[in-house]
Structure 1
């Protein structure tokens, strides 16, 4: 009997790729339940491309600069992805809002990580907003991507305490460390089939996940 083929993931990046590096490190430690099949960037100078090349991962660059038609760019991106037929698309600092047709095409297969405890603080400047609100804790959320910006069903959250004297930069640095911990774990839940997206909801072991899992408590 032949072994079941490992699922394939494509990682989309725009910058230095620190979350990508967390996946690469986990893969090299044999902690991923899927293959990092390709890394795609919309910026030719993205440092994450070098990280991927150094790790022996196939890379592609589809420059978005000067392309004002978001849907046209996403069609080109989809053509590239469809050659590989990925089981999972991982957004790791991909600084573009995906068009509705693209999200619909890959519904239930796109993950993103957002630097807040969603549904708190969708969008930008999350660390400054948490500090301005006087929150006692902050964190990050892995979620399925839907057409609503940062509005897809959450999967896994990691939390950090907000400390006296924190500013947006110090808080962001601690949250980023947690991102590196939880993102590969959430992707593994998907690759293993334990987490699925169905009818606009996240299911864990075929039961609706009423609230996101917490790291490390729930894992």
Structure 2
């Protein structure tokens, strides 16, 4: 068994690699287990064993880009791989739910009868995307500092891999506000009043709405995953 001071040395090493804390704790357990195995099987002291394990993990900590969520910011390769795996699952769910909501809003265009009826539904249903981030932050106000995009563990690393995604809630809040202000008039005029517009405009309007719905839902999923991961981190610490 390695000492508490040696475990702290491993943790500080991983912090220097800019791993989010939830990923760091998983990697830390694996590294400590490997170090202890080498100390036992190869009769190495801690420094020798740590050096060998660190060398075997080096490629995982090489820096790369994950443009979709981190832009030009470089992150460790292992963090990117874990994020892609988890984010892809959430993105698929978010896209399907966004597509469902988008499809239902389309079905109600011919069913509404007139624009005022459609507008009432449109404003009410899209308001859910405004209420969601407000309610999430209100009900988690006591721990709001952990949900800020710049809140960091020991001032050095993010708490979870989902943390930066929470800004999507603000972005989509603003996007949904713009959609509500339009009142659904554009698509209603196109499909009911047969307003003559270019196909490019129709595709653009549809794509914009679907994008906002998808990433608003993705932001909500990320919020809950972030909150769930925070509980695990507090338990492990």
TM-score, normalising length: structure 2: 0.21
Whose helix proportion is higher, 1 or 2?
2
Whose strand proportion is higher, 1 or 2?
1
Q: Which has the larger radius of gyration?
A: 2
TM-score, normalising length: structure 1: 0.23
> Structure with the greater relative contact order (CA < 8 A, sep ≥ 6): 1 or 2?
2
